[in-house]
Chains A and B, each alone.
Chain A
Amino acid sequence: MKFTRRDVIRTGAAAAAGVVGSRLIGSPAYAQSAPTYTPEEGATLRVLRWSPFVPADEEQWIVNTKRFTDATGVQVRIDKESWEDIRPKAAVAANVGSGPDIMWVWFDDAHQYPDKLLDVTDLADYLGGKYGGWYDGGKGYATKDGKFIGLPLAAIGNAIVYRDSWVKEAGFSEFPKDTAGFLELCKALQKTGHPAGFTHGHGVGDGNNYAHWLLWSHGGKMVDEGGKVVINSPETMKSIEYAMELYKTFIPGTESWLDVNNNRAFLAGELGVIANGISAYNSAKTSDDPKLQEIAKDIRTTNLPIGPVGQSVELHQTTTAVIFNYTPYPNAAKAYLQFMFEAEQMNDWIEKSAGYCCQSLKAYAENPIWKADPNNAAYARASDTLRPNGYAGPLGYASAATMADYVLVDMFAKAVTGQATPQEAIEEAEKRANRYYRV
């Protein structure tokens, strides 16, 4: 009997389904049968991903890829770029119609060139049906006009990272859950010499995460459902006033911070509280330096405090795996993603990511990594609580450009540093946002 690639894929999918059944207790049975994608003759794939923050994430992805190659014979080359270079690289690939077959893109990148991406609705529907459905946040970034233009891969959770002993020393037996209590804690930490620090500079991840949390937790939003700019609101004013009070308690210089400054200062013992991905904790935990290991024992994580809106609303970074439609091997690319999203591979990858990558499919919330360390728990809900960029308007070039131009980050930075009054800062942000939303 001769086995074709098609048979191998089908067998692999069936085997994976069996594994899921045994590993994911409680995951809903899927009604949809597995689609089969027969890799084209002589197919090879090139994947471009962001450089890992947790080395084991990349190692496991490569291991999973090798499994795919062993099963199908399709060679896959994995390249990586610093995560800030992903957006321009993807942009160039989309524009010139040449480059990697598959790419991991950020936020609303996929919405900037939806017609350059392969429709993967059939695959997404199958995976969603099999693994408990996609989280809405990730799905929003990966769908356009009801079609999947990519597969939501992960959310990179952002959470409060703090020194437990210093919080207790400041008189707080537990970390405050609301914004008012959080301000009091920051004031107390400043007095005890272990201040907080949140990025007001052009940090793509940390700067935007903080600014969006400030705005959304107070009920403000950049645009309404129709894409009309509504940043000039009493809620925004309240968020700025709150940010100004908070800023007074920060370590000096946060307006110059890029993405790495807060981690660096926190691990050097200069800061009591920051907001970050789990990488800040992991780098201390896995360090050979006894001093950092001591710090790791004192580190706790929790979700950002809830503001007047009464619910947890955060931006979080999201990454989507897209296939460019210029690829000569669309079936091989789909087969690859299908293979990588199946439980046998995906569970291993999420586990090795050590809490850095939060699942995009609900069934994977049962992954043991989220209970392996109490500090991982704050990152387990990232996909569930994330709110898309440009909320509450449509995703597209305007939302992407508004974020890329740091409109919100600058609004807060301008007001807290006294370069403009809160009203002036809001009006400038409104004017800048209107340019992108073309009023």
Chain B
Amino acid sequence: MRSMVEGAPTKEKRMASTTVAEAPPRPPLAKRLQESRGFLSFGFMLPAALLLLVFLTYPLGLGVWLGFTDARIGRPGIFIGLENYEYLWDDSVFWLSVFNTLLYTVSASILKFMLGLWLALLLNENLPLKSFFRAVVLLPWVVPTVLSAIAFWWIYDSQFSIISWALIEMGIIDHRINFLGDPTNARASVIAANVWRGIPFVAITLLAGLQTIPQSLYEAATLDGASRWQLFRYVTLPLLTPIIAITMTFSVLFTFTDFQLIYVLTRGGPVNATHLMATLSFQRGISGGLLGEGAAIAVAMIPFLLAAILFSYFGLQRRKWQQGGGD
């Protein structure tokens, strides 16, 4: 033991020998940077960071700032604190648009989830012409929103609706349905159009998720005597939940910020019954010229969007929830 200690070079000796030896030449800065993992990572991320900064952070920051000013078109405006928000607080049309947006988002998202999941489960079965059906399902998603909105505009027309015509021809109704004139009908109509358009996204994404579930789990569960419902409840659903969380987060965000469908179909009418926060923000900010107030309405959407994201990330992705347990 002693000899081993004595035989081993001491720390001081090692240091001395290092000092005595010729120090290798320090590589030039460019080469060092080239070989630096940290610098390279930073360099590779820089374009993305710049894009995010220019096209996301700056506009968002500007929007938030504008919400605190009385900026109008052609005039930069001055800081007015919370005045825009105080006005909106007393504005019945704004609150109506909040209600409409929540109703629109919640109803359309639930319907899109249920129908999308159902469609995904169907497409996951071994159907004849499976690939064809999968491609066809994507069509509503592929068609530009404005085009599908114009198609729905005809479908819901108060005089030329094909639905009204067909029902009258079949003798089911005796007068045309006022799809977009009656507030309740109008809300239901725009939700239906949104659901039609949004189902493919949910269905195809969930289908991708379904195909990652190992077949062996189903076989094992079947051997244990699980029913079809139990297979779905205890195998499919828990394993699909992370995908559902992501899909529905995106779906909710898309729905909450919808604009084109409403703008083409009703422009917020009748009497603001279908105005969403996004369309009202445009109407006040751009058409009306009140950039500050328009920005304030847009900023007022952020808490709702954040709540949806937080619910998804910290709620739907919790393992306990996924496994069917409570908190």
User: Could you tell me the dominant secondary structure of chain B's interface residues?
Assistant: loop
Partner of B289, one of A91, A251, A255: A91
| Chain A residues numbered 228-275 whose CB sits less than 8 Å from any CB in chain B | 251-258, 261, 264-265, 268, 270
Complex-state Cα separation, A257 to B192, whole angstroms: 19
* B289 / chain A contacts, CB cutoff of 8 Å: 91, 112, 397, 400-401, 404
Report A73 CB to chain B, min CB distance, Å.
32
* B270 / chain A contacts, CB cutoff of 8 Å: 200-201, 255-256, 413, 417
Report if A91-B93 is in contact (Cβ < 8 Å); known contacts: A401-B289, A417-B271.
no
Partner of B180, one of A95, A114, A256: A256
Contact B269 A201 (CB under 8 A): yes
* A114 / chain B contacts, CB cutoff of 8 Å: 74
Report if A405-B284 is in contact (Cβ < 8 Å); known contacts: A112-B289, A253-B159.
yes
Report A336 CB to chain B, min CB distance, Å.
23
Complex-state Cα separation, A264 to B159, whole angstroms: 9
Contact A252 B287 (CB under 8 A): no
| Chain B residues numbered 268-288 whose CB sits less than 8 Å from any CB in chain A | 268-272, 283-284, 286-288
* A405 / chain B contacts, CB cutoff of 8 Å: 93, 283-284, 288
Contact A201 B267 (CB under 8 A): yes
Report B296 CB to chain A, min CB distance, Å.
13
Contact B179 A256 (CB under 8 A): yes
Contact A202 B288 (CB under 8 A): no
Report A420 CB to chain B, min CB distance, Å.
9
Complex-state Cα separation, A201 to B91, whole angstroms: 21
**Of listed B72, B159, B272, residue having the most chain A CB within 10 A:** B159
Question: Counting CB contacts under 8 A, is A361 at the interface?
Answer: no
Report A234 CB to chain B, min CB distance, Å.
23
* A432 / chain B contacts, CB cutoff of 8 Å: 91, 93
Contact B186 A256 (CB under 8 A): yes
* B52 / chain A contacts, CB cutoff of 8 Å: none
* A270 / chain B contacts, CB cutoff of 8 Å: 159
Question: Counting CB contacts under 8 A, is B209 at the interface?
Answer: no
Question: Counting CB contacts under 8 A, is A94 at the interface?
Answer: yes
Contact B91 A91 (CB under 8 A): no
| Closest partner residue, chain B, to A420 (CB atom) | B271
Report if A397-B178 is in contact (Cβ < 8 Å); known contacts: A261-B159, A265-B159.
no
Question: Counting CB contacts under 8 A, is B181 at the interface?
Answer: yes
Question: Counting CB contacts under 8 A, is B75 at the interface?
Answer: yes
Question: Counting CB contacts under 8 A, is A87 at the interface?
Answer: yes
| Closest partner residue, chain A, to B186 (CB atom) | A256
* A401 / chain B contacts, CB cutoff of 8 Å: 284, 288-290
* B175 / chain A contacts, CB cutoff of 8 Å: 252
Contact A91 B74 (CB under 8 A): yes
| Chain A residues numbered 44-98 whose CB sits less than 8 Å from any CB in chain B | 87-88, 91, 94-95
Question: Counting CB contacts under 8 A, is A23 at the interface?
Answer: no
Complex-state Cα separation, A410 to B137, whole angstroms: 39
| Chain A residues numbered 395-411 whose CB sits less than 8 Å from any CB in chain B | 397, 400-401, 404-406, 410
Complex-state Cα separation, A183 to B186, whole angstroms: 29
Instruction: Pick the 6 closest A-B CB pairs, nearest first.
Output: A253-B158, A113-B74, A256-B180, A256-B181, A404-B288, A401-B288
Listed by A's residue number, 12 A-B pairs whose Cβ atoms lie within 8 Å are A91-B73, A91-B74, A94-B73, A113-B75, A201-B180, A253-B158, A253-B176, A257-B158, A264-B159, A270-B159, A397-B290, A404-B288
Chain A: residues with CB nearer than 8 A to chain B? Answer: 87-88, 91, 94-95, 112-116, 200-202, 251-258, 261, 264-265, 268, 270, 397, 400-401, 404-406, 410, 413-414, 417, 419, 428, 432, 435-436
Please give 15 more A-B residue pairs, beta carbons under 8 A apart, in addition to A202-B268, A404-B289.
A112-B74, A113-B73, A201-B269, A202-B269, A255-B181, A255-B269, A255-B271, A256-B266, A258-B266, A264-B157, A265-B159, A404-B283, A405-B284, A413-B270, A435-B91
